[in-house]
Amino acid sequence: MRVIRQKILITGASSGLGAGMARAFAAKGRDLALCARRTDRLDELKAELLERHPGITVAVAALDVNDHEQVPKVFEALSDELGGIDRVIVNAGIGKGARLGSGKLWANKATIETNLVAALVQIETALEMFKDAGDGHLVLVSSVLGNKGVPGVKAAYAASKAGVSSLGESLRAEYARGPIAVTVLEPGYIESEMTAKAASTNLMVDNETGVRAMVDAIERERGRAAVPWWPWAPLVQLMRVLPPRLTKPFA
């Protein structure tokens, strides 16, 4: 029997996949706790969602996930406003980066810190909340690039997402019998601000299609899923066995 998670927290919810998931869950009648750095966009999104779905509750809060001390405070405040949280979607991330050895350490360091270290802080915070509540669903938004190192400007990004996927797999083993469900999502190229300059545009799907696939996998509480299934589930299997020199088309 599928569990209905009514109160959902999404980080990085001001645009792209985060905002898309918020719209999709709002359409299902779920209450939402949305946080991101850009509060003006969050306020606009909240107004949009409440106009379309007046029966739901939407709480918003400013959060820079790299401010580690603020993460538990913001999660707790949003939980209090909604009367609890039963699903946390760790979605906040950035796609900046540079070729390793190019002298742009700052860009790669920022990617690792935001996508992996900050994700760890969110994970720890969510797990503590779920343990107190007795159950919950943790969703980690990784990437298909977490399955294989790639050359060029996406090297640090791929490494950060490999770390997120690894944390998720560890947690799936830790909570194999519950009470916390864990989902590792590996989106392919889906239209968003982050993928606007992606090289693999021939593999791009529109935002609505991509978000629909993500939300479906989340609702089914899949353990690990490349989304959309086509073409990414078969391509992930191929990526895992390709020699490193042949991974450039996916970067």
Q: Output the pLDDT for position 193.
A: 64
157 is catalytic: yes
Mean pLDDT of 41-45: 96
pLDDT tens digit sequence for 211-222: 999 999 999 999
More confident residue, 236 or 28: 28
Tokens at 23, concatenated: 């719209």
Tokens at 217, concatenated: 């996998």
pLDDT tens digit sequence for 116-173: 999 999 999 999 999 999 999 999 999 999 998 888 999 999 999 999 999 999 999 9
CATH assignment of 7-250, among 3.30.70.141, 3.40.309.10, 3.40.50.720, 3.90.550.10: 3.40.50.720
pLDDT tens digit sequence for 169-197: 999 999 999 999 999 999 998 886 655 55
Mean pLDDT of 70-91: 98
Catalytic hit among 25, 130, 157, 189: 157
Residue 14 near residue 62 (C-beta atoms within 8 A):
no
Q: Output the pLDDT for position 99.
A: 94
More confident residue, 250 or 207: 207
Domain boundaries, the chain: 7-250
